[in-house]
């Protein structure tokens, strides 16, 4: 259970403990987001839209929310600790910026309809506040195997006031956004880019349970395969 860090006077040593807890923490909260009702359909691909999912699986730095905005300054949602949310967009080229801690990070996404795209929101330690890293997840990457677990164990949130991100065709990058992107090296730009084929047609499947051989009741030495369930 999380505790409030807005309590009254406490000794300095206790403040250090509270500060450390705020970094390790648990689930976060945002007044701009609401929890999707239990039993609602999971995030899925739409035939006439692209879907971009931002997932922040870690509870580290839970007191700091990272706002996801576009180059027009529209607040698309808050990346809250141990939560995920999805945006639905027409096909096109988009830039997404994360702000709220000690830095700004950016992802470029060229998305196509009928596909699911995922961006891992990673909090890192900063001097005073958490720093943010946006890591696009591609189907052939190691992190893709963790996606089903991340989605199952984080809160599914939605913006209270949904907005559609502005594409580059609609709103060219202003100076601040262009500088944020151009500050990355060419290799970092490639690592921060989603191409149309980097999306899933279906949500990533959970990993299959491994099997082991166990003795069969029909007789000694006769093995049979049994799945090991995941808990």
Q: Residue 20 contacts by C-beta under 8 Å, 6 or more apart in sequence? A: none
Is the residue at 182 inside a domain?
Answer: yes
Please give the residue range of the domain that contains residue 181: 30-198
pLDDT at 15 over 50: no
| This prediction's pTM | 0.80
Average pLDDT over residues 100-108: 95
Is the residue at 210 inside a domain?
Answer: no
The residue with greater pLDDT, 134 or 4, is: 134
Say if residues 198 and 138 touch (Cβ distance below 8 Å). yes
How far apart, in whole angstroms, are the C-alpha atoms of residue 159 and residue 52? 14
How far apart, in whole angstroms, are the C-alpha atoms of residue 121 and residue 79? 7
pLDDT tens digit string along 155-197? 999 999 999 999 999 999 999 999 999 999 999 999 999 999 9
Is the residue at 121 inside a domain?
Answer: yes
Sheet bearing 83-89, strands edge to edge: 33-35, 155-159, 83-89, 50-56, 116-124, 131-137
The residue with greater pLDDT, 209 or 99, is: 99
Is the residue at 84 inside a domain?
Answer: yes
Split into its structural domains, the chain has a count of 1
Sheet bearing 105-111, strands edge to edge: 75-79, 66-69, 92-99, 105-111, 193-194
Q: What is the model's pLDDT at position 147?
A: 96
Is the residue at 3 inside a domain?
Answer: no
Is the residue at 207 inside a domain?
Answer: no
pLDDT tens digit string along 128-147? 989 999 999 999 999 999 99
Is the residue at 223 inside a domain?
Answer: no
Is the residue at 7 inside a domain?
Answer: no
């Amino acid at each position: 259970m999380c505790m409030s860090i807005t309590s009254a006077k406490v000794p300095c040593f206790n403040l250090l403990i509270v500060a450390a807890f705020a970094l390790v923490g648990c689930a976060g909260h945002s007044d701009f987001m609401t929890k999707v009702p239990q039993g609602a359909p999971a995030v899925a691909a739409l035939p006439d839209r692209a879907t971009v999912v931002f997932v922040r699986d870690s509870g580290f730095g839970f007191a700091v929310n990272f706002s996801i905005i576009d180059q027009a300054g529209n607040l698309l949602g808050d990346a809250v600790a141990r939560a995920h949310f999805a945006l639905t967009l027409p096909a096109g080229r988009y830039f997404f910026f994360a702000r709220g801690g000690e830095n700004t990070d950016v992802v470029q996404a060229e998305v196509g309809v009928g596909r699911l795209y995922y961006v891992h929101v990673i909090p890192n330690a900063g001097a005073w506040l958490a720093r943010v890293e946006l890591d696009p997840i591609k189907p052939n990457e190691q992190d893709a195997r963790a996606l089903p677990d991340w989605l199952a164990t984080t809160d599914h949130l939605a913006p209270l006031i949904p907005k559609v991100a502005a594409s580059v065709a609609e709103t060219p990058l202003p100076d601040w956004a262009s500088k944020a992107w151009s500050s990355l090296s060419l290799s970092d730009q490639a690592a921060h880019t989603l191409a149309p084929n980097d999306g899933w047609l279906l949500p990533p499947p959970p990993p299959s349970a491994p099997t082991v051989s166990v003795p069969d009741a029909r007789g000694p030495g006769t093995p049979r395969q049994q799945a090991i369930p995941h808990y």
